[in-house]
């Protein structure tokens, strides 16, 4: 392979999608998404010959072995190899690596107490204090899972894709489900933001990921970064390579 230390691959492996990024000279130059079920297609032979280092955040351990055996120098994020976050929950191994890199990137962004909100397969709220202590999180089903559960457990309600149904009340089934889901998640998110703000006057609220983007104009964020997870993974990569 024989490539430079400043060229590498980042993979954020989620339950639904894998986010792939190529990095050159510390800068993210290419990003793409692929469904997690198609994980064998995420890295081409051309990439195998071009890069030497692979850095992974994964919440799907059953496919990790595949990436370990591709021939890269491969590093996985864990609670004990992120340098700017100290995980204070009783069993740090329970903490998803995506939440760890989000916390790391948010801390690098604000260097203050943060509530980090991410919406993908699950909706998560993570609390990190001003000195980088990871204090815990809240986890809810994501909006897609909620819609799928509603349709699969009823005989007359169909699956409704999440859109910005900014309605007080629906006048047909699709509107009723769409508005219920959309406004329900808006109030859920804003309710927890308000509770954290009431308890911690100095807290910054950081939104992350594509899922939260559709709510951005309706929820009380201080910062939003669609690429927070990849940026946190890039910080992890640089901390390893610069040792």
Q: What is the pLDDT of residue 209?
A: 85
List, by residue number, the catalytic residues: 98
Give the count of beta carbons closer than 10 Å to the beta carbon of residue 240. 17
Residue ranges in the chain modelled with pLDDT below 70: 1-5
Domain edges within the chain: 7-76, 86-143+174-226
Q: CA–CA separation, 56 vs 147, rounded Å?
A: 30
3-state helix, strand, coil in the chain (%, to 5): 40, 25, 35
Q: CA–CA separation, 14 vs 138, rounded Å?
A: 18
Q: Which residues contact 142 (CB under 8 A, 6 or more apart)?
A: 119, 120, 121, 122, 123, 211
Question: What tens digit of pLDDT does each residue of 7-31 get?
Answer: 999 999 999 999 999 998 878 989 9
Backbone angles phi and psi of 3, in degrees to 5: -105, 175
The CATH number assigned to the domain with range 7-76 reads 3.30.420.40
The class of domain 86-143+174-226 in CATH terms is: alpha beta
Backbone angles phi and psi of 61, in degrees to 5: -60, -25
Fold agreement (7-76, 86-143+174-226): yes
Backbone angles phi and psi of 142, in degrees to 5: -70, 165
Q: CA–CA separation, 101 vs 30, rounded Å?
A: 19
- Output the 3-class SS for 181-209: HHHHHHHHHHHHHHHHHHHCCCCEEEEEC
- The overall pTM is greater than 0.85: yes
Q: What is the pLDDT of residue 2?
A: 41
């Amino acid at each position: 392979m024989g490539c430079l230390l400043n060229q590498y691959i980042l993979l954020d492996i989620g339950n639904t999608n894998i986010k792939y990024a190529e990095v050159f000279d510390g800068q993210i130059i290419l990003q793409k998404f692929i469904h997690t079920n198609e994980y064998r297609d995420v890295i081409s032979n051309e990439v195998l010959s071009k890069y030497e280092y692979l850095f992974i955040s994964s919440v799907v351990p059953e496919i990790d072995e595949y990436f370990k055996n591709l021939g890269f120098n491969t590093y996985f994020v864990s609670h004990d190899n992120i340098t700017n976050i100290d995980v204070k929950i009783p069993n740090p191994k329970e903490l998803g690596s995506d939440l760890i890199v989000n916390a790391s990137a948010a801390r690098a962004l604000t260097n203050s107490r943060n509530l980090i909100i991410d919406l993908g397969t699950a909706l998560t709220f993570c609390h990190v204090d001003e000195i980088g202590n990871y204090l815990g999180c809240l986890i809810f089903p994501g909006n897609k899972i909620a819609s799928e559960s509603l349709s699969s457990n009823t005989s007359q309600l169909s699956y409704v894709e999440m859109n910005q149904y900014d309605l007080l009340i629906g006048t047909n089934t699709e509107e009723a489900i769409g508005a219920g889901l959309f406004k329900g998640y808006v109030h859920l998110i804003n309710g927890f933001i308000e509770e954290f703000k009431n308890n911690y006057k100095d807290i910054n609220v950081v939104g992350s990921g594509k899922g939260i983007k559709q709510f951005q104009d309706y929820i009380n964020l201080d910062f939003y970064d669609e690429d927070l997870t990849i940026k946190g993974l890039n910080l992890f990569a640089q901390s390893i390579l610069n040792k």
